[in-house]
Amino acid sequence: MNYAKGSIAGYLKDLSAKTPAPGGGSSAALSAAMSAGLIAMVCQFTLGKEKYKRFTPCLEALLHSASLKQKRCLELLDEDVRAYASGDLEKSIRVPLEICFLSYDLIKSSHELLKKGNARLASDSVLAAGLAEVAFSGAFYYVLVNANALGEKARKYKKEIARLKSLKKTLMILRKKIEVSFGRSLGR
């Protein structure tokens, strides 16, 4: 099945069914894709406004990056479904690993948008960060569960898993910064 080109209703219907896929990994990918979409939207509503002109290069870069990440997250949604359907445990580690790294970047982009994006869309930037954080956390736990199921073969992912654990700790700090930036953006 190609969910990336299908309807949201169709995906949610299958997600709700008594089947192993689609499941949590693809849901994390969809959350990350929605985060990227909100980031792109905020950038587009900010670009061209005189008040934010000095941020144009940064906003254009964020928009381009968000568009690429959204496309990749939708591909990962389908890759996750195929991995589970085929019982490919290694791919069931690689896919959520990538979702984690993409999501972390999206959280950083959301924080940047709170400082440089259209203040009227600050809540969209915060929601983008929240969706990316959910995607990161969900995918992180799937990496751990699937690595455990893979056993000794998962040793080659040891460095990536250690990096994820470190990033997970910094998410708390970044979330606080986002909350502070959001409070400031309300006062602009």
Domains and CATH numbers, the chain: 13-181 (1.20.120.680)
How many angstroms separate the CA atoms of 156 and 78, rounded? 24
pLDDT of residue 186: 54
How does DSSP assign 172-187, residue by residue? HHHHHHHHHHHHHHHT
How many angstroms separate the CA atoms of 113 and 95, rounded? 27
pLDDT at 88 over 60: yes
Which residue type is seen at 134?
Answer: V
Name which of 36, 71, 43, 73 is nearest 59 in CA terms: 43
pLDDT of residue 174: 92
Two tokens, residue 157:
């992912």
SS in 3 state form for 97-135? HHHHHHHHHHHHHHHHHHHHCCHHHHHHHHHHHHHHHHH
Give the pLDDT mean for 18-41.
Answer: 96
pLDDT tens digit sequence for 41-53: 999 999 999 999 9
pLDDT tens digit sequence for 106-161: 999 999 999 999 999 999 999 999 999 999 999 999 999 999 999 998 999 999 99
| Coil/strand/helix, residue 90 | coil
